[in-house]
Structure 1
Amino acid sequence: MALADSVPGVSGGTIAFLLGFYDKFIGSLDALMSGNMQQKKEAVIFLLKLGIGWIVGFLMAVSVLASIFHTQIYAISSLFMGFILFAIPIVIREEKKNMRVNAPSIIALLVGIAVVALITYFNPVAGSGSSVNLAQLDIGLIVYVFISAMFAISAMVLPGISGSTLLLIFGLYVPVISAIKALMGFDFSYLPILIVFGLGIITGVITVVRLIKFALDKHRSVMVFLIIGMMLGSFYAIIMGPQTLETPQAPLSMETFEILWFIIGGAIIFGLQKMKDISEH
């Protein structure tokens, strides 16, 4: 999840949905806010285990990905193309009993594709390499970072929508990654703005989780089709991802597509699914 969340065009929620713990993830977040003591205890244990893994994965991703994005962006993009393409049939298989092919579901599928594609298409940062300067701290920047973090974490929770892509659109992806990397090197100059960013994340989680849980409980078929649509839309987001780097590069094409990394991405998804099947039996 952390690796996916740190890569523009990919959602950690997609990985959670694929591996079968998305409902438990959303349910645990909801229980943490509104459950009884026993539910809160179970939620804390689950989220603590997930959180430790996420933090370790994210710190590793920040340390490694920040330096290889510019040199290996096409390999990373091809890898995640494999992730998404091989993930969709698995999601359909897992949710087949809940899926109903009707007008609302088809509309949800098309809306899912359109939302991700339009967010990517209208990205004002793409091709410009522009970003926000977090060193110039003022009230306007504090409000901007807080609201951007709210939207980004809401996207990360939803399968298919990339929070990293939204941060790129807001011009915050590279500055936030750089600020976290600086903090890891014991440079605390960016700590105040990172605290604001963290508060925005917490607020976003609180506001969006209950809505998602309600939709999954009451309108699961429509939500599954919406999620699959978002995953399909992610193909376009991944293709255009290289344009959103600090030093923009050409979109992924047949010439830059790396089949080996695509196959590796598919193999990883297949392996994770096998591990899930074994753990359930």
Structure 2
Amino acid sequence: MKVAEFCSNRYWGIALRGMAMGAADVVPGVSGGTIAFITGIYRELLESLSRIGPHCVTVLRRQGPLVAWQYINGSFLLALFAGVLVSIFSLARLIGHWLATYPILVWAFFFGLVLASTVPIVRRIPRWSVSVFVCLLLGLFVAIAISELRPGQIPATPLTLFLSGALAICAMILPGISGSFILLLIGIYPRVLAAVHQLQLLNLVYFAAGAVTGLLLFSRLLSWLMRRFMARTLAFLAGILMGSLKIIWPWKLVDGTGVAMGEKLAPMLSNTSPWNFVAQTGENAYLGLAIIAFLAAVLLVLSVDHWGRRAGGKSG
């Protein structure tokens, strides 16, 4: 890999997409996979991850590290995950602060982001049929069913940590479903945080091993589905995005659980209208600002999609 190649404008753009993915994962119920889909790198991400495996080791042994690096699209992955890490340690903290201070506005922005992102996904569906429509409804049902779940409690054993890591990373790849939100639902999230803060290295190894395994296997499955059943897979993903709108609806009624609107468990609170929110809580609904944030997100997504289609047309 040449330094000039990695420092090209393309990889700077990939790194910025990675930063956006890392920031999105901070918002309850929002997945970095959603940002990957919006910005047009979702399929390349799946294809690149699916190439990491036994065949990659064979290429490395027979043809050397440079060919193996090119085979897995290493420059793309490095730029993307570098952006994710930079965001986690910088931009994500700022998003987290905004979420704690102005949760309605942050949720309104991401609500518009997710809603508008269904437009380019539906547009990419090559053909419609009964089975494609059924897959759309199935994705919708899956996302709504997840939103109706309530937190459980499972013990932090090596097996549960491994499976939790695999499940969380699979959810993170899917647009519209947050991996950390899934961890909260199954009750393992506090135990993972405790392992991080207390440096419980063995527990972290179990969790990381599950995440890596889930990432490699699930990316292969999704990549295969995209190649063999593109229309049905895109419809299913669009359905998940539509269903996830219930999770990130901006106005929620705080119940007696003590969950604040800016916390990770906030998507489980009851949705309500802006007017009922004011009547029930006596707080400002920030309706005008929320509409502005929503419209800004919609405009951003449609502009990115329009720019991407024009660039694709010129390159073709």
TM range (shorter): 0.7 to 0.9
Amino acid at match of 1:88: T
Secondary structure at 1:49 match in 2:
helix
* Paired letter, 2:46: I
Alignment check: 8 A CA contact 1:9 1:241 kept = no
Q: What is residue 254 of structure 1 aligned with on the other side?
A: 273
| One-letter code aligned to 1:105 | V
Choose from 143, 146, 156 the match for 1:119: 146
Greater relative contact order (Cα < 8 A, sep 6+): 1
Offset of residue 220 of structure 1: 0.6
Aligned pairs for 1:79-228 (under 5 A) are 79-93=109-123, 95-96=124-125, 98=126, 100-124=127-151, 140-173=156-189, 176=192, 189=199, 192-228=202-238
Q: Structure 1 residue 232: deviation in Å?
A: 0.4
* CA distance in 1 between partners of 2:231 and 2:225 (Å): 10
Identity %: 26
C-alpha offsets along residues 163-193 of structure 1, whole Å, 9 cap, x if unaligned?
Answer: 232122123446656876x5xxxxx635554
Q: Greater shift after overlay, 7-16 or 19-28? A: 7-16
Write the letter of the residue equivalent to 1:215. Answer: L
Q: Say whether the 8 Å CA contact 2:45–2:77 is kept in structure 1.
A: yes
Q: Could you say what secondary structure the match of 2:46 adopts?
A: helix
TM-score by length of 1: 0.79
Paired residues for 1:33-44 under 5 Å: 33=53, 34-35=55-56, 36-37=59-60, 38=67, 40-42=69-71, 43-44=73-74
> Mind listing any 5+ residue stretches in structure 2 that lack a counterpart?
1-20, 61-66, 262-268, 275-284
Number of positions where the alignment pairs a residue of Structure 1 with one of Structure 2: 261
Question: TM-score, length-normalised on structure 2?
Answer: 0.71
Give, as a single letter, the amino acid of the residue that structure 1 aligns with 2:77. L
The answer on whether the counterparts of 2:26 and 2:92 sit within 8 Å (CA) in structure 1 is yes
Question: What is the CA deviation profile of residues 184-234 of structure 1, one whole-angstrom value per residue up to 9, with x for unaligned ones?
Answer: xxxx63555444332221011122121111111111110011011011011
- CA displacement at 1:114 relative to structure 2: 0.6
- Give the Å deviation of 1:7: 2.2
Q: Per-residue CA shift, 1:119-164, capped at 9, x if unaligned?
A: 1101326xxxxx88xxxxxx84443332211101011112233223
**Structure 1: runs of 5 or more not aligned:** 126-130, 133-138, 183-187
What value does the CA root-mean-square deviation take over the aligned residues? 3.1
**Larger Rg, first or second structure (1 or 2):** 2
Tell me, yes or no, if the aligned pair for 1:11 and 1:163 is still in contact at 8 Å. Answer: yes
Paired residues of 2:22 and 2:32 also in contact (CA < 8 A): yes
